[in-house]
Amino acid sequence: MLSQQTIDVIKSTVPVLEVHGEAITRHFYQTMFTAHPELLNIFNHANQKQGRQQAALANMVYTAAMHIDNLAAILPAVRQVAHKHRSLGIVPEQYAIVGTYLLQAIKGVLGDAATDEILAAWGDAYQVIADAFIGIEQDMYSEAANQTGGWDGFRTFKVAKKVQESELITSFYLIPEDGKSISSYKAGQYISIKIQPAGQEFTQIRQYTLSDAPGKPYYRISVKRESSGSDRPDGVISNYLHNHITEGSLVELSAPAGDFTLDMEDPRPVVLLSGGAGITPMVSMLNTMLESDDQRSITFLHASPNGLSHAFRDHVSQLAQEHVNLNAHYCYTSPADSDLENELVYKQGYMDAAWLRQVIQEPDANYYLCGSVTFMRSVYAELLSIGVAEDRIHYEFFGPKASLAPATENV
């Protein structure tokens, strides 16, 4: 428990964190990695280069300060991050390192404005928050290790099959090298894959959604080849998987994790909305419902540039023909001639409110949303505009969490 004086001091720093939060987190990561380069075996280098991790941590610190007098309010966010930490293999000892360099960063950026009183208050507050993470993560480690087929840390898997799903996305079917059973999971969860590419000093860990229903003797991940753009470098691990990992290759996996999961108990209809590689958790959810003979009405909506980049199109379309409770519709921004000839495009352009009203026959539903941040911001805003309640919209980010505040960008 924090004293009222400590709470008051932390609250007083909220305006400062709003302005200087990202400067503090940039300073934090730079000094911590300089002193502890071994931590580069854990952190996503691409997210560091793009500033996504710094922004996410700054938002987390700011939110914690805002709710320091009621930390229960941020427990959902804590649990979401704790899932990622468990999947990455974060251990309690590393929290002490983070605390040391976070306080140094506050002092380094704020200078004399970071008084001894402020630093002491943040030291106390950080310990309370760290203890909450550690406790939750210890429970998650125990659960992952003790269930049937479970394990602790990373386990060696073999690529049993490699299947190209589109011009950008390839599926990898992964079976345990030891031949023993594997733990089940909930549709929407992910695994972490750990690889050290040849010639690279550090291991790299990436998290990929499981793209099939649970209960199989394998895990399937479907990975998009990430190419460089104006705001991002080539995806080191996605390209390595596509170019160098073949059938028979060995990789290291942590047990499934994540809190973006399909609610199998709620009887309401389900609407699955995805863009690009965001289709992977939606296919897992779709397969799970249909394989369990779920009779709920399902609407499957996917946005892609065209059929060449659209993974699992034939699979979903075939399921829609076989199951009367499934309706599938696609949006293509740049349809190929073959798409138009085969009448596979239900809408040219972006998902908008008018189209969503047209294709969602039962709006009193649970909505699951996954894709790029730009895609999700736009679709989230469109869903709100047609009267969907915020608590009915569930979403997942690939990478650090960001804001889904309504934006003006197109999908």
* Signed CA dihedral, 294, 297, 303, 304: sign only: positive
154 among annotated binding-site residues: no
pLDDT at residue 19, rounded to an integer: 93
Query: What average pLDDT values come out for the chain (411 residues) when binned by 10 residues?
Result: 93 93 93 94 77 82 90 88 94 95 95 95 94 95 96 97 96 97 97 90 93 97 79 73 96 96 95 96 98 95 94 96 96 87 79 94 94 92 95 81 49 34
Residues 366, 273 contacting (CB under 8 angstroms): no
| CA distances in angstroms from 82 to 78, 132, 258, 275, 341, listed in the order given | 6, 10, 9, 26, 48
Exposed, middle or buried, 47 (CB in 10 Å: 0-12/13-18/19+)? middle
Helix, strand, or coil here: 190? strand
- Tell me whether residue 363 is annotated as binding: no
Neighbours of 250 (CB within 10 A): 12
CB distance 320 to 312 below 8 Å = no
Q: 283 by DSSP, 3-state: which?
A: helix
**Catalytic residue, candidates 29, 62, 95, 185:** 95
Q: How distant is the alpha carbon of residue 143 from its chain centre?
A: 20
307 annotated as belonging to a binding site for a ligand: no
Predicted confidence at residue 398, as pLDDT, reads 67
Helices (H) and strands (E) in the chain, counts: 13, 12
Buried b (16+ CB within 10 A) or exposed e, 167-178: ebbbbbbbbbee
Q: Is 117 a catalytic residue?
A: no
Contact between 315 and 287 (Cβ < 8 Å) = no
Residue 230's pLDDT is 43
Q: Known catalytic residue: 137? A: yes
Would you state the structure tokens that stand for residue 102, as one six-digit string? 């976070």
Q: What is the pLDDT of residue 197?
A: 86
In this structure, the number of other CB atoms found within 10 A of the CB of residue 406 comes to: 12
Contact 271, 368 (CB under 8 A): yes
CB 376 within 8 A of CB 370: yes
Q: Are 46 and 236 in contact (CB under 8 A)?
A: yes
Distance CA 288, CA 220 (A): 13
Percent of the chain with pLDDT over 90: 78
* Marked catalytic residue, from 137, 165, 226, 396: 137
399 marked among binding-site residues? yes
pLDDT for position 303: 96
Q: At which residue do the structure tokens 């269930």 appear?
A: 147
Report d(CA 16, CA 23) in Å as an integer: 11
How far is residue 257's CA from residue 268's CA, in Å, rounded to a whole number? 25
* pLDDT number for residue 408: 37
Q: Rounded distance, CA 194 to CA 177, Å?
A: 15
Q: Which two structure tokens, joined as six digits, stand for 48?
A: 């560091």
Q: What is the pLDDT of residue 236?
A: 84
Beta bridge partners of 257: 190
Distance CA 274, CA 325 (A): 19
Which H helix or E strand runs over 236? helix 236-244
Token pair in block for residue 99: 């605390």
The reply, when asked if residue 330 is annotated as ligand binding, is no
At residue 199, φ and ψ (nearest 5 deg) are: 85, -5
